[in-house]
Chains A and B, each alone.
Chain A
Amino acid sequence: MMVLETILYLIAYPPLWHVLIVGLLGAFFTAVVAIWFERKTAARVQRRIGPYWASPRLGGFLNLIADMIRYILQEVIIPRSVDRVPFVLAPVAAFVISIMPMAFVPLSPYEKFWPVPNMDYSLLLALAISTVPPLMSIIGGWASNNKFSIIGSIRESYVITAYELIFVISLLSAAATYTSLNLLTIVNAQSPIAWLLFLNPIAFLAAFLAVLMSTSAFPFEIPESEHEVVGGPYTEYSGILYALNMGGAYVRRFIYAVIMSLVFLGGWAPYVPPADGPLFAIIIPSLIVAIKAVILVLIMSFLRAVYGRYRLDQALDSAWRLVLPMALIGLGWGIVLGLIL
């Protein structure tokens, strides 16, 4: 028993568990599942099969693995005209920084399983770090020295200014409700079923739309809009660097979804983790959080089949005129909730 216990403790060692296992592997796995699901959903709605021949019994799931291997082994072409250092560093940095918010979120109510000793400002820290990766795609687009990349980067920068405020405000409504920036307090207050999704649906919807915008999902797939700007900021990228860029968006979507499932979906609620052993104290609660996040990501993927893309100015217009007021109403209602509760 001791050996097993020790291995479990090693796995549950917070930096390892949070950043590498749930963060990197979870995000990686979610990215693959989300892309697969996106393709399969779109195929179903569009009356096709989607990925199939690579593994008919798994619904073509191995197709995605094969794609991944192809990206890893593909030649990376670095054009002569690019600014090499930022060109190569930007996607790598974006991918790594995308996972960093995982180092500031609690996946267990017990202090020994926290990656950082103090959770008092965890919501703020996680949000702050989650805003960095889009800057990297702007840097990458600028370093590409390609007209389409630059247009894509500029679009990305417009979109960032629009969604970030919305995302932060709508999440701060939770902080207003429970008068705390501590994610743990927020999660515990929602247990078992008083989730903010039900108490404050407007803030949830605003945050959901902000995530769609930030990770350029449909209907806000504007920076990479293929029919005007080819690949947007990623036009010049190839091979593994392109995969990091493209996968980075899905990873970010997953990380945002983790934050959202902690804030709006009650974290590991309705499960109440007991204090004995790493399995029940951290592994199961993190799985619950991850599953909630995956469901959110899959809902976002479904939208591809139903919507086209907005024009840039229309997306910004709807962000500032429709979603921002929604987020503000959410914040206001959050404050009211805080007074009631």
Chain B
Amino acid sequence: MPPRAVTKSVRKTGGLFDGVKSNVEALIIGVKYFIDPKRMTMFYPKEYLEHRPGYRGFIVLKKEVCISCAACARICPSAAMKMVRVSEVDPKEPAKQRQKQYPVINYQRCIFCGYCVDVCPVEALYHLPFHDVTYESLGDMFLTLDLFQKEPLRPVEKEGVPVVYEVDETLGLVKRERKGGG
């Protein structure tokens, strides 16, 4: 059946009996949850969410794969990614230095849209499944070429237990400890 508009009406209320009944129903729901809270809180630093592999988190560069095409820097909607020119040893002719461009990222601007990862023609960029990393100063958020190749440390991993969210029919989201390690 195609979509259609249907006129409905708000349940008519009124009268003493109805008022008492609705009050009691609301109170019963309150008491029900008071007795059995069905909580969904995550104790964040003590537990942390382990995102699924597809999560668009921090971005890391595989320098040896990069072909310096600059597509990532051109597609970045917030101009967070820029190409830098470095001189390095040419792998084919070790005696010679060569000039090459590599991307670097500024996490002050990055919006984690993942365009750069998707546009890279050689898969030289990849996402990490988290983005809760802290920096001491705004200047630290400009990653240099060396830092951009390292996976940043996630501070919460030191003290917390990884959990995953599962969708449940009666409780909504349930957090479960991740099975196995690593």
What is the interface of chain A, defined by CB distance below 8 A to chain B? 41, 43-49, 52, 302, 305-307
Contacts and interface: CB of A to CB of B under 8 A. Distances in A.
A48 B40 CA distance: 6
Contact of A306 (B27, B39, B40): B27
Given A306-B26, A306-B27, A307-B26, A41 B34 contact: yes
Given A48-B41, A302-B30, A306-B27, 5 more contacts: A44-B33, A45-B33, A47-B40, A49-B41, A305-B30
A305 B39 contact: no
B30 A48 contact: no
Contacts of B41: 47-49
A305 B34 CA distance: 9
A302 B37 contact: no
B37 A47 contact: yes
A44 B26 contact: no
Contacts of A44: 33-34, 37, 39
B100 interface: no
Contacts, number: 33
Nearest to A52: B43
10 contacts: A44-B34, A44-B37, A45-B30, A45-B37, A46-B33, A47-B37, A47-B38, A48-B39, A49-B43, A305-B30
B16 to A, nearest CB: 9
A43 B39 CA distance: 9
Closest 4 CB pairs of A and B: A306-B30, A44-B37, A45-B33, A49-B41
Interface in B50-67: none
Contacts of B39: 44, 47-49
Contacts of A45: 30, 33-34, 37
Contacts of A307: 26
A47 B29 CA distance: 12
Contacts of A48: 39-41
Contacts of A47: 33, 37-41
Most buried by B among A43, A45, A48, A302: A45
A49 B33 CA distance: 12
Contacts of A43: 37
Contacts of B27: 306
Nearest to A307: B26
Interface in B83-117: none
Nearest to B28: A306
Contacts of B26: 306-307
Interface in B7-27: 26-27
Contacts of A305: 30, 34
Contacts of B34: 41, 44-45, 302, 305
A177 B159 CA distance: 65
Nearest to B39: A47
A49 B46 CA distance: 14
A305 B35 CA distance: 13
A159 B85 CA distance: 73
Contacts of A49: 39, 41, 43
